[in-house]
Amino acid sequence: MAQKLRPPVSEKDHIQGSVHASVELVEYGDYQCPHCGRAYPIIKRIQKELGDSLKFVFRNFPLSEAHPQAFIAAVAAEAAGRQNAYWEMHDLIFENQESLERLPFVDFAKTLGLDTAKFEEDLADPALAAKVEADFDSGIRSGVNGTPSFFINGVRYDDSWEEKRLLEKLKKSVIKN
């Protein structure tokens, strides 16, 4: 039986693309996971290809024991989100994945022109840590067993996420809808 996304996507999620898109792709990812790093440009190209037909959602699934900076990276993206720069930070983190060990998040905030004092305050806000933990919790309940894990229109996608295969599957879902 295919596993279902729990809870479904809501306004609490970070959504990229049209809310009314016919296909919804959710990724559970870890900012320090090399596979997620490899998936990042693939998703970008797929978003470009599908345009308004695709809604993309990223939920955090940091494996902190294996990746010591994954959790704080997730909080950093949420903190940037408070200054309307969630996706900009998301992109910067993945594009500089190899540098995360030296905790470059405040520099990233500076690069994005954010209020760094506010950003640093938010980095330490337990509410944002709780949000990342809630994502992790939803991942567990949705049957996420590693990263990246994908859900298409709320159903677990277990096939390969190499560009051609994933794009094909998403295109088929567009047609069906």
Partner 1 sequence: MLQKGTPAPDFELYCTPDQKIRLSEFEGKKLILAFYPADWSPVCSDQMALYNEMLKYFHKYNAEVLGISVDSRWCHMAFAQDRKLHFPLLADFEPKGAMAKSYGVYDEKEGECQRALFVIDENKNIHWSYLSPIGINPGADGIIEALDDLTNSKKS
The two tokens of residue 104 are 């470059």
d(CA 54, CA 42): 14
Q: Does residue 174 bind partner 1 (CB under 8 A)?
A: no
Please identify which residue in the block is written with the tokens 């990263």: 147
The size of the interface with partner 1 (CB under 8 A), counted in residues, is 14
**Strand ranges, E, within the chain:** 15-17, 23-29, 54-60, 149-152, 155-157
Q: How far is CA 149 from CA 21, 58, 61, 127, 143, in A?
A: 21, 10, 9, 25, 9
Q: Which is nearer to partner 1, 80 or 144 (CB)?
A: 144
Is the Cβ of residue 66 or residue 155 nearer to partner 1 in the bound state?
A: 66
* Residue 129 is a binding residue for partner 1 (CB under 8 A): no
Among 53, 60, 142, 153, binds partner 1 (CB under 8 A): 142
Among 46-54, 106-114, 132-140, 162-170, which window interacts with partner 1 (CB under 8 A)? 132-140
Among 49, 95, 121, 137, binds partner 1 (CB under 8 A): 137
Query: What distance in Å separates the CA atoms of residue 141 and residue 79, rounded to the nearest whole number?
Result: 25
Q: Tell me the window of 48-56, 73-81, 116-124, 142-150 that interacts with partner 1 (CB under 8 A).
A: 142-150
Q: Establish if 95 lies at the interface with partner 1 (CB under 8 A).
A: no
d(CA 70, CA 117) in angstroms, rounded, equals 22
Determine, following the binding rule CB under 8 A, whether residue 3 of this chain makes contact with partner 1: yes
Q: Do 52 and 24 contact (CB within 8 A), yes or no?
A: no
Is residue 145 near partner 1 by the rule CB under 8 A?
A: yes
Amino acid present at 121: E
Q: Is 177 in the site for partner 1 (CB under 8 A)?
A: no
**Letter for the amino acid at 91?**
D
C-beta closer to partner 1: residue 16 or 64: 64
Binding stretches for partner 1 (CB under 8 A): 3, 63-66, 136-137, 140-146
